[in-house]
Amino acid sequence: MLVKVHKGYRVCVAVCDSDLIGKKFEDDLRQIDLTGTFFQGEEKSIEETRKILFNAKSEDASFNLVGNGAVGLARELGIVGGEVMKIKGVPVALVLL
């Protein structure tokens, strides 16, 4: 997984499944563009990503998660609950805690 932590007024953690980076998905209503730099972070193991997400969960963070792995891991940690949107079959979750 690729993980990028954007620091500003609020920490924003962007996590994307590695095989999706550089692609763009769109349907009639929405699109997610993974060709830019927003999601192009560092390759992390599942355990490293879990730790980053867990620590950010306790802060005033927001999360941008794309892909089965990223969304699934966030779901395990209680960051994502219920249904998530899918764009061309790709799960996308935007979470503000």
Domains delineated in the chain: 2-96 (3.30.1860.10)
pLDDT (tens place) for every residue of the chain, 97 residues total: 999 999 988 999 999 999 999 999 999 999 999 999 999 999 999 999 999 999 999 888 999 999 999 999 999 999 999 999 999 999 999 999 7
In the prediction, which pLDDT does 8 show? 87
By the 8 A CB rule, do 53 and 5 touch? no
Q: Return the pLDDT at 59.
A: 86
